[in-house]
Structure 1
Amino acid sequence: MNRRQLLAAMTSATLIASAREGWSQANTPFKIGALNPITGSGAAYGTGMQKTIFAAVDEINGAGGAAGRKLQVVADDDQSQPQAGVLAAKKLIEIDDVQALVGIWSSGVALATIPLANDANIPVMVTSGAPEITSPKINSKGLVYRFNATGEGFGQAFAEVCAREGFKRPATMAFNNASGVGTVEGFRKAWAKKGGEIVEAVVYEPNQPSYRSELQKILSVKPDVIVAGSYLADTTIILREWFQTGETQKWILPGWAANADLVRAVGADVTEGLLVVNSVSNETSSAFMSYDAAYRKAMNQSGADNVYAAMAWDMVVVLALAIEAAGPNAEIAAINAKIKEVTNPPGAMVSSFAEGKNALKVGKINYEGASSSVDFSATSDLIPDFDLSVIADGKINRRYIVKI
């Protein structure tokens, strides 16, 4: 082989290798790790979240995939526990080679697994409320996106409800973790801005058979309402013991602790009159209609019953739109850089992956989601609307929307 033939062969080999590399990236599935609370305190929401993630992926793949790449889901149960979440996340990242983690519900699980995702340089999308999750210390690489309000945001909503309902002497009870304490601390700050004071505050440890001593401390100061940063299991015990005292003050509970499972666990008499505050889906949007149809098909119930599943739907769509915007050969860092670009204004308003995919051919887009408008703040947080519901005759009925 002469010099000219050698150079031609080398050039041809280089072009083939480059083409193969581009083909490989563009045609290799993008793996999503669905890390959801199938068991544990978040079990009422986790299965719906997981099935919604699969449904969203099916819709995106049916539209041709993102930037020519099919999405693939690898699912695991974090058991609503940090230790189990870490083990599941390590498997998803190190063995399954996922390129993003979506659907983390518990703040404890989020705080425990984000360092693993940071080390792997992959995005993490959560519904968790602990304020520190998106702090510069935890979200040091800008890879974490919160699709729900912070605990502080819930606290502000609780304060709005307290003021609107005319309460004057609130007390707080908080589960001793980042979410529970963060929620009641957010309430304390918001209530103080309204000129109010909290008459008593108790932080309690989990997994106790009884909370009578903590409850008696609260009841001794005669509050007119008790604001709780709690979960289903501990709320069940606390409300049973409160009902046995014969006291009649009101309770304001987060929606994840006061749902149909709580009514079934303690009965309609105990839950009568409970006030429930929750973030609510973007129910008038086209995106919600698509999500709701998928959720009804998967779970045989309304999508409005599981706001976290609506958030999971948006996580997948946003990730797919970011992949589409970044292009077929984009690395994860380039995809991550597009997440806020496809969700925040300016840009053409879109409500589905297919719509966004077409609009990206001519310019920027602004995804309007099923769970909220999905406009991320500088700290990668969202601010959805809230509602106040009241439990009456065992039914949870919305009374009004709360904006903060």
Structure 2
Amino acid sequence: MSRHSLTTLLAAISTASMLASSPAQAEDPIRIGGIYLLSGSAATYGEFAKQGATLAINEVNAKGGVLGRKLELQLEDGQGKAATAIQLARKMVYQDKVDILMGIDSSGVAQGLVPVLPDLGKPLMITHAATPAVTGKQCNKYAFRISVNVTQMMSGGAQIAAKSGATKWTTIGPDYAFGHESWEYFSNYLKAAKPDVVLMNDHLAFPRFGAEDYTPFIDSVMQSKPDGVLISLWGGDLVNFVRQANEKGFFKQGYKVFMNVGAATEVLTALGDQMPEGVWLGTRYWYGSWDTPMNKHFVKTYKETYKLPPSYNAEGAYTAIYAFKAAFEKAGSTDPDKVIDALAGLTFQAPTGDLTFRKGDHQALIGPTWGLTGPMNTEDKIRSLTQVQNFDGVKVTPPVDPACKM
């Protein structure tokens, strides 16, 4: 064989190899690694997130995917433990080769994982954990949050509480970042709006997360005779608390009761009519309070698929997928640095309307929803919300924390 013939043959083999491999490479999915609570008393939060993310992924894939590639979701159980979440994130990045990360239900877990992100080199979209720290003093370029944080939630709640007529306030919350930060920010915002309020220093109740017996804490608060009570328990803990509080007559004392995330549909479904009327419930998203075309589609499709109204965790995961889709398309790539650049300052369509990630700290400018419990919703089998207030994310989001250094 002549040198010319050999060169021609090698070129043909190389071209054939490239043609054979190109379709396979184009079909490689974009891998999304999700870390949620999938076991224990708060496992329903992880299940709702799975449903929301899966719904969005199926919609995107049915329309051809993103950049010609399908989306693929891998979920792991973080168990509410920072060490476990860090281990899983490392496994997903180094072994499973995920392109992006999402999830995190616990503020404590988020505070443990976010500082590790620069080593992992992948963006994380927080869809639930509310501690201000991860878009504040712990911020880094890899961490984004699409959900309402404690400052945003408490700003809205305090505005309502200031007009409630209650002067003497106490709290019951989980004994970790979320419970303590909820009380801290609620107190600060309430004091600013109503300087004559009394914020009790004794009889504050902080049971451990996952506690089963809340009666000592209920008794302590009742003995302090407050006018108002902020309750930041969540998930199965809040369900257990409400049932035990009903038995103790807690809700018949005339307190102004504010449940930080009480309007989670996971909680309302579990409690049914055991959730009392006339208490204020907060939530990061309320499926019945947004009249956008995207929300109408989301709620209708979700109910048809899962036979339940969507929770805020379902909406958060659903919206995160569309945020990543918009960022991939803007970047024209799944390269982490390009995706991060695309996400920072990105405005995209969400069920709650146009949503923007602030460049300075990567916090979404989104407001909470608060409402007063009313009669049972017979169709959805949960308490209805009345006097619903959707707060403007721009107005309830404080300035970028000076300690945040990207």
TM-score normalised by the chain length of structure 1: 0.79
Superposed, 1:61-100 pairs within 5 Å as 61-100=61-100
Matched-pair contact (CA < 8 Å) for 2:175–2:209: yes
Moved more, 244-253 or 233-242: 233-242
Residues 256 and 90 of structure 1: is their aligned pair in 2 closer, same or farther, counting only changes over 3 Å? Answer: farther
Q: Tell me the distance in 2 between the aligned counterparts of 1:113 and 1:224.
A: 38
DSSP-derived class of the 1:32 partner: strand
Q: Tell me the distance in 1 between the aligned counterparts of 2:64 and 2:263.
A: 39
Moved more, 21-30 or 43-52: 21-30
Residues 310 and 371 of structure 1: is their aligned pair in 2 closer, same or farther, counting only changes over 3 Å? Answer: farther
Match of 1:183 in 2: 182
Shift of 1:223: 0.8
Shift of 1:121: 0.8
The one-letter amino acid of 1:398's match is T
1:335 aligns with 2:339: yes
Match of 2:324 among 279, 302, 319: 319
Q: Tell me the distance in 2 between the aligned counterparts of 1:43 and 1:391.
A: 27
Match of 2:355 in 1: 374
Residues 296 and 64 of structure 1: is their aligned pair in 2 closer, same or farther, counting only changes over 3 Å? Answer: same
Q: Tell me the distance in 1 between the aligned counterparts of 2:78 and 2:115.
A: 16
Residues 44 and 215 of structure 1: is their aligned pair in 2 closer, same or farther, counting only changes over 3 Å? Answer: same
DSSP-derived class of the 1:175 partner: coil
| C-alpha distance after superposition, 1:198-229 (max 9, x if no partner) | 13433332344433443343223311121012
Match of 1:128 in 2: 129
Match of 1:252 in 2: 258
DSSP-derived class of the 2:205 partner: strand
Match of 2:315 among 310, 315, 326: 310
Matched-pair contact (CA < 8 Å) for 1:74–1:96: no
DSSP-derived class of the 2:356 partner: coil
Matched-pair contact (CA < 8 Å) for 1:52–1:294: no
TM-score normalised by the chain length of structure 2: 0.79
Shift of 1:320: 1.4
Residues 207 and 60 of structure 1: is their aligned pair in 2 closer, same or farther, counting only changes over 3 Å? Answer: closer
Q: Tell me the distance in 2 between the aligned counterparts of 1:62 and 1:236.
A: 38
Shift of 1:83: 4.4
Residues 240 and 256 of structure 1: is their aligned pair in 2 closer, same or farther, counting only changes over 3 Å? Answer: closer
Moved more, 73-82 or 22-31: 22-31
| C-alpha distance after superposition, 1:53-99 (max 9, x if no partner) | 12212222222222222222212232344344344333322321111
Matched-pair contact (CA < 8 Å) for 1:206–1:234: yes
DSSP-derived class of the 2:224 partner: coil
DSSP-derived class of the 2:357 partner: coil
Matched-pair contact (CA < 8 Å) for 1:31–1:100: yes
Q: Tell me the distance in 2 between the aligned counterparts of 1:107 and 1:374.
A: 22
Q: Tell me the distance in 2 between the aligned counterparts of 1:155 and 1:370.
A: 22
Residues 207 and 284 of structure 1: is their aligned pair in 2 closer, same or farther, counting only changes over 3 Å? Answer: closer
Match of 2:171 in 1: 172
Match of 1:356 in 2: none
Gaps (5+ residues) in structure 1? 345-366
Match of 1:229 in 2: 232
Among the aligned pairs, what percent are the same residue? Answer: 20
Matched-pair contact (CA < 8 Å) for 1:228–1:252: yes
| C-alpha distance after superposition, 1:249-297 (max 9, x if no partner) | 23211235765646745x7466343321112257222222332243223
Residues 371 and 122 of structure 1: is their aligned pair in 2 closer, same or farther, counting only changes over 3 Å? Answer: farther
Match of 1:397 in 2: 385
Q: Tell me the distance in 1 between the aligned counterparts of 2:56 and 2:239.
A: 34
Matched-pair contact (CA < 8 Å) for 2:37–2:78: yes
Match of 2:399 in 1: none
| Alignment RMSD (CA, Å) | 3.4
Q: Tell me the distance in 2 between the aligned counterparts of 1:258 and 1:389.
A: 13
Gaps (5+ residues) in structure 2? 377-381, 397-406
DSSP-derived class of the 2:39 partner: coil
Matched-pair contact (CA < 8 Å) for 2:152–2:367: no
Count how many residue pairs are aligned between Structure 1 and Structure 2: 375
Moved more, 220-229 or 201-210: 201-210
Matched-pair contact (CA < 8 Å) for 1:191–1:197: no
